[in-house]
Structure 1
């Protein structure tokens, strides 16, 4: 027997433990869950729900509006169900709950990432597959040492003014493969949720700088022994110079020095350039998920 309720900050450790079982190739810091529950802006209409069983958490659901997109009504839904509680109607009940929440919040189009074995479940609910996301892992041993071209320097994000990184992030996100554009990033919100949030690790995250301008960067989250590359971006004028390899290799070296043993990342199938960079670094594919979209017509 399970009961569904809204999550509280005290659930953070259990939520992360469940997510590690469902998606072991992702990094799930408990601080990020606590931050999400305590600090999301009201306009995002964010909510998280958990399903409790006698043995612990059986599932977790998170929903909200995409606040960094100009697309009106763009929303997301994330659902993780413990393997012992699947095929019992729990996923359906939580998906129904999440979709009701989003309709009431004004959502017009909902994006979900689903594992391949649950694509049929999503399609039966009216979702259509739009793209594939490939997840890759790397055991950290001796990452390559690469130096930036003359006139460029390599620095940790912690050494930079946040506005320098923000400017590069805004530019790099403009042509990132996605179903909704990431083109409405307000600096104050970016500062609160990204720079001053629980992630990324600004000492492990690295940028290449030309003068005072960030021209390439990689942002890294960590839960101690594992790291996750959340975003790597190069501004258009500096692409084709191998800078993504340089920042990612530098971040991996810093992670090894900090005691990390495994790195994970993900890339859209359409992002062939970054897929090639990760393959060159030694990443191997560990999972593929589909992005599926459902539009609310009523």
Structure 2
């Protein structure tokens, strides 16, 4: 076994490993490479791979949360191929990532764990804080399309500007459940993390427009015949009109027409409105992760 820094050339192997470990997550190889080559000093982001005979069998990463005003908040992500577990790889990858964050001056670490990994995470000093549910649906089988209000228009995200999308994302995400508020993301950071990221499919992503303002939107990330709902949000002034249900219905239909057969998403356990929307659309739960934090 060998643990080394991850490089862009690992992207295909890392994406394949992630699909084995988390078949309900969607991450194309180009996004792995992009993340490894566009890091900024402020992110304190680093990643490592565990290999055996040249095969990538484990991943570990750590970096700061650049979207929050909470000082010193960071994140780690660790997973190991099922055939290589209980050999200490996860423990070592977690140690390396946490040591890196401590050296960077971080004060708190956030992580997510599957049901089987919660005990492992608590042994690392993490405490459970929340639950996040993952669901999947077939976009070719959907309920009847909701009507579009006469005063609104549905467009592809490809037709809006980055500035319009940023404003909507920031406003709609301000009260999103989480361990830290999403209240301090700069436009340049958002463009790098979201708008320019190769996973975002702007043609499949959809928005409900009220004049020049985005009232509701859903961001779709695609990898082949699978898509992921990266974020669906409605700005407060337009909530209560069923726009999230409408915009996701449009995006999923477009995805099915483009050959997508699997759609996946996640929702915080306390986000009742979006859980109800996704259940109406046909999403069914496939996994639950526990959110955990550790104070350094």
Q: Pick the TM interval, shorter chain.
A: over 0.9
For the residues of structure 2 that align with 1:45 and 1:215, how far apart are their CA atoms?
34
Distance apart, 1:278 and its partner CA: 0.2
1:209 and 1:42 map into 2 onto residues whose CA distance is 36
Residue 173 of structure 1: how far off its partner (Å): 1.2
Instruction: String of CA shifts for 1:95-123, please: whole Å, max 9, x gaps.
Output: 11010000011111100010011111111
Which piece of structure 1 moves more, 141-150 or 63-72?
141-150
Q: Is the 8 A contact 2:199 2:223 kept in 1?
A: no
Following TM superposition, by how much is the alpha carbon of 1:55 offset from its aligned partner in structure 2, in angstroms? 6.5
Return structure 1 stretches of 4+ with deviation > 3 angstroms.
none
Question: Partner residue of 1:183?
Answer: 183
User: Partner of 1:75 in structure 2?
Assistant: 74
| 1:132 counterpart = 2:134 | no
Aligned to 1:246: 246
8 A contact 1:206–1:219 mirrored in 2: yes
**SS of structure 2 residue aligned to 1:175:** coil
Query: What pairs with 1:1-298 in structure 2 (closer than 5 Å)?
Result: 2-54=1-53, 56-143=55-142, 144-296=144-296
Deviation at 1:139, TM superposition (A): 1.6
Rounded Cα–Cα distance in structure 2 between residues aligned with 1:195 and 1:124: 37
Return the alpha-carbon distance in structure 1 between the equivalents of residues 161 and 91 of structure 2: 45
- Tell me the distance in 2 between the aligned counterparts of 1:174 and 1:244: 16
What is the SS of the residue equivalent to 2:291? strand
Structure 1 stretch displaced more, 128-137 or 48-57: 48-57
3-state secondary structure, aligned to 2:230: strand
Single out whichever of 67-76 and 55-64 deviates more from structure 2: 55-64
User: 1:146–1:250: 8 Å Cα contact kept in structure 2?
Assistant: no
Deviates more, 1:261-270 or 1:192-201: 192-201
1:200 CA drift (Å): 1.2
Shift of residue 224, structure 1, vs aligned partner: 1.1
Q: Distance in 2 between matches of 1:139 and 1:43?
A: 39
- In structure 2, what is the Cα distance between the partners aligned to 1:164 and 1:136? 29
The alignment partner of 2:207 has SS state of strand
The farther-off stretch of 131-140 and 48-57 is 48-57
- Deviation of residue 134 (structure 1)? 0.2
Query: Which segments of 5 or more consecutive residues in structure 1 lack a partner in the other structure?
Result: none
Give the number of aligned pairs.
295
- TM-score normalised to the size of structure 2? 0.98
What's the offset of the Cα at 1:145?
A: 2.2
Paired residues of 1:138 and 1:282 also in contact (CA < 8 A):
yes
Distance across 1 between alignment mates of 2:40 and 2:252: 32
User: Is the partner of 1:270 in helix, strand or coil?
Assistant: coil
Q: CA RMSD in A?
A: 0.9
Distance across 2 between alignment mates of 1:228 and 1:16: 14
Conserved 8 A contact 1:6-1:48: yes
Checking the alignment, whether the CA contact within 8 Å between 2:49 and 2:57 is kept in structure 1 is yes
